[in-house]
Amino acid sequence: MTEKIKIKSKNVNVYYGQKKALDKINLEIPTNKVTALIGPSGCGKSTFLRCINRMNDTIDICRIEGKIIVDEEDIYSTEVDPVLLRAKIGMVFQKPNPFPKSIFDNVAYGPKIHGIVNSDDELEELVIYSLKKAGLFEEVKDRLNDSGTSLSGGQQQRLCIARAIAISPQIILMDEPCSALDPIATAVIEELIDELVKNFTIVIVTHSMQQAARVSQQTAFFHMGNLIEVGRTDQIFSTPSQKKTQDYITGKIG
């Protein structure tokens, strides 16, 4: 593989208190590609995802060893401010979590706190751009002042995506973004991911192997806190090299 690497993890161990959640994870995530993290519940894939933007910092008992290098910089070194890091690495959560504010304010919040925009016009432009990018603008253009929570589940999730891309991150982390959505809303989000990957590096955790197969170019299979196998998606789903991977994708474990 000759592609550029955006995120590189080196021997990452994660502990929750005494319990080891991740064991020596070495994973390279290429730029402007979708990388899917799959595996049964509790395998550590979400934990790994949340290490990439240091969301685990908010959990008191969580401890991380090893290095995660984003753009040649170890994000766990003391010089890195997690707030700045999260501005660079956006996140979309499992359950759509818009703020109980207007649709406009939801998207405008990130640019406002980071001081990205200089004027109200610029802000409005950015909000509209982000909503368009998230494929939501046409549906909500007449009611930008309605509460974000009044939207349907799929719309809410796209609003969260718009909110994440409004601060123009380089990486978007998605933690099972479609698990609370119906198949139609899921299809819309998947199309959106195909579109977004042109500009962003995307890491997506998913329970659905079909989804991983559909949207990702690289797939990593986690099991019991270990990274079992990583490779091109078509190769993982057709000719996995590990028996566990094969068992999982054929439904024998999980």
Chain residues that interact with another protein, rule: CB under 8 A:
53, 55, 58, 60, 83-87, 90-91, 93, 95, 97-100, 109-110, 113-114, 149, 160, 163-164, 167
Q: Which amino acid is at 185?
A: A
Q: Are 148 and 99 in contact (CB under 8 A)?
A: yes
- The smaller minimum CB distance to another protein, of residues 99 and 197, is found at 99
* Distance between CA atoms of residues 38 and 46, nearest Å: 9
- The smaller minimum CB distance to another protein, of residues 57 and 124, is found at 57
- The smaller minimum CB distance to another protein, of residues 111 and 240, is found at 111
Residue 127 Cβ vs another protein, minimum distance, rounded to whole Å: 14
- The smaller minimum CB distance to another protein, of residues 53 and 186, is found at 53
Q: Are 92 and 164 in contact (CB under 8 A)?
A: yes
- The smaller minimum CB distance to another protein, of residues 87 and 224, is found at 87
b (16+ CB within 10 A) / e for 23-33: eebebbbbebb
* Distance between CA atoms of residues 94 and 46, nearest Å: 10
Residue 254 Cβ vs another protein, minimum distance, rounded to whole Å: 26
Q: Are 193 and 202 in contact (CB under 8 A)?
A: yes
Residue 220 Cβ vs another protein, minimum distance, rounded to whole Å: 21
Residue 19 Cβ vs another protein, minimum distance, rounded to whole Å: 17
Residue 92 Cβ vs another protein, minimum distance, rounded to whole Å: 8
User: φ, ψ for residue 11 (rounded to 5)?
Assistant: 50, 50
